[in-house]
Structure 1
Amino acid sequence: MGKQLLAFCLCLMASLAAGAQEFRANVSVQAAQLGTNVEKRIFTTLQTALNEFINGRRWTDDAFTTSERIECNFLLNVTQDLGNNTYRASLTVQAGRPVFNTSYTSSIFNTQDNNLVFRYVEFQPMEFNEQRISGNDPLASNLTAVIAYYCYIILGLDYDSFSPAAATIILKKPLIL
């Protein structure tokens, strides 16, 4: 009986910790414009890594239930291979929030960044430090920094959509880029 109770408590704690993230993001990486010269598997790995980076990270100290997660879409369209694992891409970001007492969502953010240059080596961990861009290579950290920037913008807009000036703490984060 004691072991079953302990197992139940551990499962409950794990499910609560898993529900703490703020986003329910859908990340899609497309590289159709690159032709056949580039190994497409790299971009599947990148898509998985970006999904885990956004959805698996705790962006605030607030607790979000699964139903409160912010629904958003990130479309990374890789347009050019610049060599040395460096790519040029466009990034489209969309976010919405549920409309009170309805079953539909309303858009709160929609943008396209047409000139994103980043370095990605397959299976390289997605690292981001709020206090500074990590590593010696700014291109290697550029993708996570840009994604984090848009995540914080989405969080700020979502918070402000519930209460005026609610995003002040989030948007004043000391991000040193």
Structure 2
Amino acid sequence: MRYSVALVGLAAIAMPTSAQARDRDWDRASGVARDALVAAALGVPAIQGDWRGDLMAAGSMAAAGGTTFVLKELVHERRPDRSDDRSFPSGHTSISFAAATTLEKRYGWQAGLPAYAVATFVGVARVVASKHYVHDVAAGAGIGVLSGLLLTSAHDDRVRLTPWGAPGGGGAALAVRF
């Protein structure tokens, strides 16, 4: 009997701790996934020498982040975990969906589908981590998609500008395919 009471007491203490740890894990996972999308949205164009795509990705993510920041300053909604009053809208989600939309619009569904899956994971993880309500995440997704759609054009691989460097100098090569 004595051990039963001790186990119940230990479980009562451990349950909130494990729930808090779980929230931290989801919070961390959402940050890692967001960062991976940002890296992909900037890295894919850079690897392909698509500097215009890089600028569009940076612009759409900056617009989503800026819009989110302004709304957080105006709305002051308390987070589900009560940590602060900057819940609406979700910045992680807005930036993730801006990155995903840029990848989809620039490089097609083959890049967009996995990017949207990761962006959706980010939004779900923010809710599970008790950092946002569902409407915060939905608003963030809308801001991100809109930013990506407005500030990104389809990639035209018929024209390519590739910078180059060498010990004696550098320059850029322009290639046009007819």
TM-score, normalising length: structure 2: 0.29
Q: Which has the higher strand share?
A: 1
Name whichever structure is richer in helix by fraction: 2
Larger gyration radius, structure 1 or structure 2: 2
Larger RCO, structures 1/2 (Cα 8 Å, 6+ apart): 2
